[in-house]
Structure 1
């Protein structure tokens, strides 16, 4: 079978040599960039063509008669938008006309020849691909965009363009939860501007960083390629940053080849990191520090990285200077830090402010008292009095054997060990900045899904690699005694092979650093939980804090206080404006607030 314009037709009366020659010719023709058209072909297409994609316009540079007209089009970019001029014929000429306003995007263009592309026999496992079909889908796509640092789109735009013949929105939906876990946008050039080359392009491929299924991005790309091939498109192009090795590897695996096609963008705050001179040691910052540094630079706040490995930086503007370590700043007092550092002290302080706390005992070596506490409560939690990132924490202990082992593990982190009554429910983190709630998220423990082939160890390692890739190495699932205990309680060992679709929780703690995932619930969190978190912040007298509760549901009022973190990871809570509110706290007259004051709108 040979594919011509997306239709499968039998090839009769041709030798293998002739067929190979034809496929070679088709590949050669489709790999030509759209910059060598004849005069008649150029006139046949629409002039000055562009497509509004919601995040900005995709401007087809080959449809502009003069470079000056293309520059003028880029100058009409809307606020908070990112226009892209694609298929720029002579980028050096364009840049020379407006060097202070535009820049050459540091991305490669890759092309998939749809005449020779072949679909995979593999099918998605645990999710499926479909078209975007509702406003809820649109909101979910925006959530993924924000989590990936992309420009968000008004949900109304998605919905109003659902019947747009030039734009195709695909989403990946989790079969079990119904959540949208990936998205991709396709542009049909023929329907956008009567492209004589019958091209198409792929944009905004994004996968939810919390997604646990492999291959989501690959199947989205494949489905879009099949869609355009069926429409008769000759090729599908995409643009990818030159240093995105993971994405480039995927595209090359699927048969994409690099082509000499260029894109130009405007020098705006959204694009600043692509054209501005990078800060020294910026790449060594972790995601939590980088989020704040990016927001500071966007506002024009001066940034000096003082220790990249530790996440330290100094922010300065208008004679004011604040030294920070991620979300911890000089505005947080040493007393507040001391209160958060010792979980027993934190508990006493917030209990005095009227918050509900679980019953607790400090283990001093008295095993009889420990056994009595376990008997009274049935299930308990063990944690070091001091520690972070979930180290030494064990949840849901029901036997003295497990309890003693957990105490020994906790003592490796801190000599003082606390034992608490276990509250069944979900782990809720509330981020409070300037004594107001900014974000709320449920943190869920890591789990794996069996495929009937691989053992538990392999599934954990695979899931751990995905979590590490999605979080810049911040989240991995340790295979240790706590993991083995949780597996054993569910009837599994590391060498067990779970059935296909079987869902197994591999650790009871939901901390991000031990493989947990984070799910935004800011829009549904109960007002009483918000009030309790703000009370805790005021009792500790701390301007930025992550307050942890165990709750029945984030939309219900029942809770118990767990702990307070003086350095919450703000990057874990996108799309909520955590970095923006942090900069508002440090520099109240920066950013949009400053502009509003200047214009008399506040």
Structure 2
């Protein structure tokens, strides 16, 4: 008979082997499968993708086991149960917790897939390989309202798990990551008898600021070709049923819809999928919706008072504040009046020691001639207005200036003529007299491909900008665009050689197709100090201060204007909406966050 010591040794050995097995699967990101026979595939397979787990339903023996696995979803994660044969049965097992994902599944037959005849110029597809890549991917995820992934996951666990492929698209001219996609090799996690053959595509996302066409297509093709080389029979993907732009791309590449379904948990991340907002709230623009969503996450009562104009009321306890996007009752009428009149704004901030450009009011021809003698180029803009309407930049010809004055007068009776300062537009979002976000704003531009007309390139870029901003950013095809094209020696009908860039607007406003590039972590402290001094001089608690700078890393600047209702969207990864709600309702902040925010060194 076995001795007591021998039994204890064997139990200890068994526990050690189990611990080793658990650690091995944790390292790969796979949940350890149940024991199975030699002819069976693995059981209860769940792949950790960083943003959540993929639960492969065919490997679960019972509906109950799959539901219990979904209940193990971690906070701030999004688990997805895929390849479910009877989704109605799974949802019925826990109707208060689960919902049927409103997405279509598409499949690409890799046996018949053919590579593109030509690769897109200016884009390099490669593996994610550094912390900088991981940060760039997370910024793209945040801009697309996707769940970010811990950089350590990309750089450690994902590398050890051969089932995962993380690709990035790099702009070869700037070195910037402008897109990403994740692939899952089912053969590495399933095997014979598992019911999960093939491969799948996840998290395809393109930087909304990217101007190069074909980034998404290049990522999909590269991933498909990798799996084709591995011998995978097909590539599957899941896409929301109303994402018409993505579906058009997939169908163009040869994907066909297949009857596969997915189930998710009802959690705050998925709320828009199973509980659409009321009709009024759905009509809010992205700037108002961003704030409303953050308020709801805090448990703050939201009442939409005029959806089309972006008005809403927030109530928390006994405190109630009416807002129009980022303009709230905390901003006084006096501060708003100062921002509304650019001549007054200029005088107020100049008295605070903020550097301002030279400026005159249009109407006196002698003054205009003297002004033009001092400055080679000028800016013409209405004294009152927003979103860059009526602003014409970089004028030197008298006829063009007079025409620009007439355009500006359609927005304001008084028109300003200002010295033109060469440089980049820098927007600094200041909330409660602290810097929250800083971003370089670049004018809309297009990149030629050697066969597409300028007009079509503008229309494509405009569609991408509109899709990325909820319809807020589009490139007009008006006289100002035509003037910019003429300065570059082209017209709407011209065909640009491959790789040539042409600026199609001189102003960098988001509403006319401009793009936003975050520089918060690198902006020069003198610029931050000047922005805060301007905000304090106006006595405005929430504002967007616009400078022209040679570089955000240098101290030189010229003040352009202060915005009383700055757009808080498109500043990912900076927490603009969070800081706005913190200002309105400080007691809705977690205690730890409140201590951090109130103690930050960037306050004025």
Contact 2:99 2:274 in 1 (8 A): yes
In the alignment, structure 1 residue 129 sits paired with structure 2 residue 128:
no
Cα distance change, pair 500–118 in 1 and its aligned pair in 2 (3 A): closer
1:164-195 per-residue CA deviation (whole Å, 9 max, x = no partner) reads 31000111111221211111100111112336
In structure 2, the residue matched to 1:21 is none
Matched, 1:452 2:450: yes
Partner of 2:270, secondary structure, is helix
Q: Does 1:178 align with 2:175?
A: yes
Does the C-alpha gap of structure 1 residues 486 and 274 become closer, same or farther in structure 2, counting only changes over 3 Å?
A: same
Q: TM-score scaled by structure 2?
A: 0.88
- C-alpha deviations, 1:73-120, integer Å up to 9, x for none? 222222211111212343333323332222222222222222222222
- The runs of 5 or more residues in structure 2 that have no matched partner are 1-35
Structure 1 pair 394/44, CA: closer, same or farther in 2 (3 Å)? Answer: same
Q: Partner of 1:78: helix, strand, or coil?
A: coil
* Mapped contact 1:270–1:298 kept (Cα < 8 A): no
Which residue pairs with 2:269 in the alignment?
270
Contact 2:121 2:498 (8 Å CA) reproduced: no
In structure 1, what is the equivalent of residue 365 of structure 2? 367
Counterpart of 2:97 in structure 1 is: 101
Pair 1:93–1:495, CA change in 2 (3 A):
closer
Counterpart of 1:146 in 2: which secondary structure? helix
**1:470 maps to which residue?**
468
Of 53, 61, 83 in structure 1, the residue corresponding to residue 49 of structure 2 is 53
- Structure 1 residue 559 corresponds to structure 2 residue 592: no
- Note if 1:83 corresponds to 2:67: no
Checking the alignment, whether the CA contact within 8 Å between 2:122 and 2:499 is kept in structure 1 is yes
Contact 1:545 1:564 in 2 (8 A): yes
Shift of residue 227, structure 1, vs aligned partner: 1.1
Counterparts of 2:398 and 2:81, CA distance in 1: 66
2:239 and 2:489 map into 1 onto residues whose CA distance is: 45
Instruction: Give SS of 2:95's match.
Output: coil
Question: What is the SS of the residue equivalent to 2:581?
Answer: helix
The SS at the match of 2:578 is: helix
Q: How does 1:27-38 map to 2 (within 5 A)?
A: none
Q: For 1:521-532, list aligned pairs within 5 A.
A: 521-532=519-530
Q: Which residue does the alignment assign to 1:92?
A: 88
Aligned partners of 2:434 and 2:532 also within 8 Å: yes
Deviates most, 67-76 or 489-498 = 489-498
2:356 is equivalent to residue 357 of structure 1: yes
In 1, distance between residues paired with 2:589 and 2:226?
Answer: 43
Unaligned runs of 5+ in 1: 1-39
2 CA distance for matches of 1:450 and 1:484?
Answer: 17
Deviates more, 1:100-109 or 1:348-357: 100-109
Q: 1:374 and 1:92 mapped to 2: Cα distance? A: 73
Instruction: Determine the structure 2 residue equivalent to 1:578.
Output: 576
Q: CA deviation at 1:586?
A: 1.7
Which residue matches 1:210? 209
Distance change >3 Å, CA 454–CA 255, structure 1 → 2: closer
Tell me, yes or no, if the aligned pair for 2:586 and 2:594 is still in contact at 8 Å: no
Report the equivalent of 1:293. 292
Corresponding residue for residue 63 of structure 1: 59
1:101–1:266: 8 Å Cα contact kept in structure 2? yes
Q: After superposition, what is the alpha-carbon deviation per residue over 1:327-373, rounded to whole angstroms, capped at 9, x for unaligned?
A: 1112211111111111111111111111111111112x211211111
Please say if 1:187 is aligned against 2:184.
yes
Contact 1:284 1:309 in 2 (8 A): yes
In 1: Cα distance, 2:455 partner to 2:113 partner: 35
Secondary structure (helix, strand or coil) at the match of 1:589 reads: helix
Deviations 1:279-306 (Å, cap 9, x if unpaired)? 2323322111111122222222222222
Greater mean deviation of Cα atoms: 294-303 or 165-174:
294-303
Aligned: 1:533 with 2:531:
yes
- Identify which of 124, 141, 146 aligns with 1:145: 141
Gap change, CA 1:452 and 1:252, over 3 Å in 2: closer
SS in 2 for 1:513: helix
Matched residue, 1:26:
none
| 1:378-437: CA deviation from partner (whole Å, max 9, x where unpaired) | 222111100111111111222222222221211121110111112211100011111111
**How far 1:41 sits from its partner (Å)?**
9.7
Corresponding position: 1:392 with 2:394: no
Q: CA deviation at 1:591?
A: 5.1
TM-score by length of 1: 0.88
Deviation at 1:596, TM superposition (A): 7.9
Of 352-361 and 583-592, the range deviating more from structure 2: 583-592
User: Partner residue of 1:165?
Assistant: 162
SS at match of 2:228: helix
Residues 428-447 of structure 1, C-alpha deviations (whole Å, 9 max, x = no match): 00111111111110001111
Alignment length (residue pairs): 559
